Homo-oligomer: A and B are copies of this chain.
């Protein structure tokens, strides 16, 4: 009973995953059809259900296949940084590079399929569908907890709530920057179809932007809408 998978089986599964990745990216979850995925993969329609059970399960498999190795790598890089720091807080730039830089580098080294996946998760993060949300939450829970803690230590003078918000903003800028390279053509008037160069040049630009945003001065308004306050002390919460 030790999972005797033949070579042919793995090929079919892999082909389905690859095709599904592309179709889900191009059409979204609802817009994609099992028939188109099977067609692109060159397999029978029923193969998808045979190997994965359902469309939802296939989508989760597509996400997890790459998300898992990405997040494992993120944890490994963070471990390495913290070991090298020997107890001292990390620099914000190090943390951002470990989280977002790892993402971008993985997409580059994995070729066009990596970019496809990047754009897929960019789309996916804005889909509030229930099963997608739970799938992502399980896959991201550990990583986000670790990186949040690292940022808290790196920026002790910034309220934790503020850091969480800015982490959220950075996620948005990143996923959007990747998912919406087409959208950028909506802003600019480029018609250059560059793809590889786009991504390689995106990384340093994005990292600068994220770092600037993360270290921006705190908002002037104390973010708590209580204008009747006679006390305006800004107690620094430990």
Whether B217 and A182, one on each chain, are in contact in the complex, defined by CB atoms closer than 8 angstroms, is no
Is the CB of A90 closer than 8 A to any CB of chain B? no
Q: With the chains together, A208 CA to B224 CA distance in Å?
A: 15
- Contact of A170 with B by CB under 8 A: yes
* A211 neighbours in B (Cβ, 8 Å): 216
The listed residue (B136, B182, B218) touching A208 by CB distance below 8 A is B218
**CA of A188 to CA of B213 in the docked complex: distance in angstroms?**
19
Rounded to whole Å, the gap between the CB of A125 and the closest CB of chain B is 6
In angstroms, how far is the closest chain B Cβ from the Cβ of A56?
Answer: 13
Verify B184–A204 contact, CB threshold 8 A.
Answer: no
Q: Which of A186-238 contact B (CB under 8 A)?
A: 186-188, 197, 200-202, 204-221, 223-225
Q: Which residue of B lies closest to A206 (CB)?
A: B169
- The quantity of this chain's copies bound in the complex is 2
Chain B residues, Cβ within 8 Å of A214:
209, 212
- Which A residues contact B (CB, under 8 angstroms)? 26-31, 122-123, 125-129, 133, 136-137, 140, 144, 148, 162, 164-177, 179-180, 182-184, 186-188, 197, 200-202, 204-221, 223-225
Residue contacts A-B, CB under 8 angstroms, 24 given = A26-B128, A27-B30, A28-B28, A122-B126, A126-B179, A126-B183, A128-B180, A144-B187, A165-B202, A166-B205, A168-B176, A168-B183, A168-B187, A169-B209, A172-B175, A172-B177, A173-B213, A204-B219, A204-B220, A208-B217, A208-B219, A209-B216, A210-B213, A212-B212
